[in-house]
Amino acid sequence: MNRNKRRQEDNSFTDYNNNNIKKPRQNKITLSDRITNLEDLSNELFYEIFEYLIDHHAFQAFYDLNYRFQKLVLNSNSTIKINISSISKSQFHHYLTDRIKPCTSRIELFRLSNPCIDPCSLLLPIITKLTQLTTLILNNIEANFIEPIVNQLSSLPVLSSLTIVSISNIITKNNLYSKLFQLPKLKYCQIDIELLDIPKKFTIATNEFSTIEWLIINHRISIDKLLILLTYVPQLRRLSIDQLVQSEFDQLSKTSTNLNYLTNVSLKFAFHFNVPFQQFEILVENYFHQVQVLNIKTQSVHLDLDTGKYLNANRWEQLISTSMLNLRIFNFQQSYRGFRSNEERQAFDYFINKFNSKFWIEHQWFFDYHYHETKRSTTAVFYSRNPYRKKDYVLYDELIDNIYLTCHDINEDPIHHICLHTTDIIKQCYDKFPNATELTFCEDFEVPRVDSIVVDLNRFLPLKQLTKLSIKCHRFTFEQLIELLQFTLNIHTLELDSIVLFRTDPILIQNHELTQLVSKINLITNVTIMKEITVEKIQLLTVAFPRIEHLTINLFKEDLRPIVKYLFSKLNNNTRYLSLLHISKQRHDWMILLKSIIKSKKLPRNYVFKVINRTLYIWW
C-alpha cells in the first residue's frame, strides 16, 4: 500500500505545461481543518490515557463531559484500581454513586486512606460483589472498624494482598490473626494495629495453615507470640517485624514446624524492650534454617549485660554456623543512645573489635562504627558496612570513607530515601544515588546558604525526580525552601519542622518573583508542619503551595479562629483544592469551639469532624 501511495505521489509531479494532462485539484486547508477535536480521538486511545491516571482523577476529568465519556468510563472491560485519599466530600459521593457502585465487579484494587470515611459503610454493602478484588489496603483507619471488616473478608474469593494500618488502639481481645489465616488465597499480609494482641488460648497450629508467603507485622509483638504465629504459615518466604519485644516467660518452647521457604527476614527490636539474645537464638534455631537474607536492628540506651550480647561476635558466629548455613547477607545495626562514661565506650570498642576474625572476612561481612556527640550524651552505632540493597540511607561525614569502600556498584542499588546530617558529605558523593525519590534533612543538619549547595546536591542525587522532601532541622528558612523547590518540580509531599522566617516579612516573601514562580510550577498536594503555626504563616504556605489537598498542622488555641476563617473561606482561591485538615495535639474542647466558629462566621457547614488520638480531622 505504501508503494502505491508513493507511486501516486510521483505522478503528481507531472509537467503541468502539458495542456493535455489534467492538473490535480488543490484543496485549500484551513486552520479549523488542522485542529483535532477531543472527541475525534478513538476509544482505545482514551482507555490508554485512563491507565496513566488515578482512577478518580480520570473520572472527574471525563465523566461529566458528555454521554459518550460516561459510557467509556462505565462500559470498559478493564479492571479498576480505586484509590481514595485526598478527595473532597462532594467528589467522593459523586465517585461512589456513579463509579464505584456501578463497577464493583471490575474493582481489582481498593485503597482507602481517609480517616473521615467510614470503611464499614463503604465496603460492607458491596463486599459480596467485589469478585475480582485481589488487593485491599486500609490505611489510617480507626481500629474499631477493623474487626467487622475482617469478619467479612471471606466473601472476597480472590483476595491475595491485604494491608491494614490503624491510627488508634484496638480494644477487641478476639484473635484477628486466626481469621486472616483462614483466607484461602491470601499471599501478602501487612498489619499495623496498635495494642493488637494474640490471646493465650491461641496455640501452635496442628491442622489449619495459611497460604501467606509475605508477612509484615508493624505493631508490637512478643517473641513467644511470634513463635506460635509462625507455625500457621508454612509457605512463608518473607518476614518483617517492626517492634519485636521480649517474652514475658523465661522459658520458650521449641516447635517442630519447618519454614522451608523462608529466605528473607527483617527484625527491629522495640526500644526499651530488647529481646534477650537467648530468646532470639530460639527463634533462629526454630525457623531460620533456610534464611539467606537477615536484617537486624536493635537500639538501647546503655550497654549492659543483656544488650551487650548482640555485640558478642563469637556467639553470632556459633549461631550462624549451626542454624543459618544458607545466610548470604547479614545486615546488622546496634545503636546505643546514652553513653555517659568511658567504661561504656571502652566496652563497646572491645566488643566490636571481635568482628574482624577469619569467619567474618570469609563471608565478606564487614562492619564499622560511629560516635555521634550530643550535648547530653554520646550515641554509638555499630553497623554493617555493606549497604546491600537498603532503601534508606543515613549519611554522616565520618562514615563516608568506610561506606563506599565495599559498595558493589552503588549506582545499581535501589536506594530511595536519603537522610542527610551534614553538608560536606554532599560534595564527596557525586552520582551515588540515582534512584533516590525521598530526601530528609535531619535534626542536626547545619543549614548553609541553599544556593551554595543546590548544584552539589543535584550531582549528589537527581533533584527533579524527588517526590517527598522532609526538613527536620530547625534553621531551614522558608526562603531557602523556596530556592530549593525551584529545582524539585515533582515533589508532592512536604514535611517541615516549622516555617522559619527570621524576622522577614511574610508579605515580602509572598510577593517575591521566585515565590510566584514556585507557586505556579510546584505539584505539592500533601503538607505537614510539626511546630505551632500562625495565620500569617498559613497564608504564606497556601500562596506558595496553592494545590494543597491534605494539610496537617499544629497550633495554639488562640490561633484556631483566624486560621479556620482563612482556610474555610470561599473567597480564598489558594485553598480551593484543600479538603482534609488534621490538627494535631488538640484539646478535647477544640471540636466544640471549631463548630461554633464555623456557625458564627457563616462558613459552609458540610463538614465531617473526628477526634482520634488527640488529632482533630476535618473533611469537607
615 falls within a domain: yes
- For 250-274, how does the pLDDT look when each residue is reduced to its tens digit (9 = 90+)? 777 677 678 999 999 999 998 777 7
Rg (C-alpha) for the chain, rounded Å, is: 30
Which of the given ranges, 91-105, 197-211, 330-344, 393-407, has the highest pLDDT on average?
A: 91-105
Which has more confidence, 605 or 514?
A: 514
Q: Mark whether 207 and 239 lie in a shared domain.
A: no
* Residue 453, pLDDT score: 74
Which domain range does residue 273 map to?
Answer: 226-386
Separation of alpha carbons 360 and 354, rounded Å: 10
Return the closest-CA partner of residue 347 out of 377, 303, 302, 312.
303
**Does residue 202 sit in the same domain as residue 252?**
no
Of 440, 449, 437, 447, which is closest to residue 419 (Cα–Cα)? 440
d(CA 146, CA 164): 8
| Stronger pLDDT, 598 or 287, i.e. the higher one | 287
- What pLDDT is stored for residue 204 in this prediction? 87
Domain termination site, one of 212, 247, 264: 212
Same domain, yes or no, for 207 and 243?
Answer: no
How many Å apart are CA 95 and CA 238, to the nearest integer? 37
Residue 100, pLDDT above cutoff 90: yes
Within this chain, do residues 244 and 130 fall inside the same structural domain, yes or no?
Answer: no
Q: Do the domain assignments include residue 247? A: yes
Residue 30 lies in a domain: no
Question: Same domain for 562 and 594?
Answer: yes
Percent of the chain with pLDDT over 90: 51
pLDDT for 577 beyond 90: yes
Residue 255 shares a structural domain with residue 312: yes
**Domain annotation covers residue 45:** no
Residues 200 and 268 in one domain: no
- The vertex-333 CA angle with 329 and 339, nearest 5°, equals 160
Q: How far apart are CA 576 and CA 567, in angstroms?
A: 9
Mean pLDDT computed over every residue of the chain: 84
User: Which strands make up the sheet holding 468-471, listed edge to edge?
Assistant: 392-395, 417-420, 438-441, 468-471, 493-496, 526-532, 550-554, 580-583, 615-619, 608-612
Give how many domains the chain has, as a whole number: 3
DSSP for residue 206? S
CATH number reported for the structural domain that contains residue 188 in this entry: 3.80.10.10
Q: Do the Cβ atoms of 440 and 470 come closer than 8 Å?
A: yes
Residue 238 sits in the same domain as residue 319: yes
Q: Distance between CA 269 and CA 226 in Å, rounded?
A: 13
Residue 415: inside a domain: no
Confidence of residue 317 (pLDDT cuts 50, 70, 90): very high
422 lies in some domain: no
Quick one: 27 exposed, middle or buried, by C-beta within 10 A (0-12, 13-18, 19+)?
exposed
User: Do 189 and 272 belong together in one domain?
Assistant: no
On whether both 265 and 371 belong to a single domain, the answer is: yes
In a domain, 91, yes or no: yes
Task: Report the range of poorest mean pLDDT among 488-492, 526-530, 567-571.
Answer: 567-571
Q: Are residues 233 and 204 both part of a single domain?
A: no
Q: Are residues 105 and 198 in the same domain?
A: yes
Of 365, 386, 407, which closes a domain? 386
According to the model, what pLDDT value does residue 393 have? 56
Domain boundary among 177, 212, 247: 212
Per-residue pLDDT reduced to its tens digit, 414-435: 578 888 877 777 766 666 788 8
Give the separation between CA 476 and CA 158, rounded to whole angstroms.
49
Q: What is the mean pLDDT of residues 536-563?
A: 94
- Averaged over 310-318, what is the pLDDT? 94
Distance between CA 609 and CA 582 in Å, rounded?
A: 10
pLDDT for the residue numbered 30 = 55
pLDDT at 43: 87
Query: For residue 137, is it within any domain?
Result: yes
Q: What is the pLDDT of residues 204-240, one digit of tens each?
A: 888 889 999 999 999 999 999 999 999 999 999 999 9
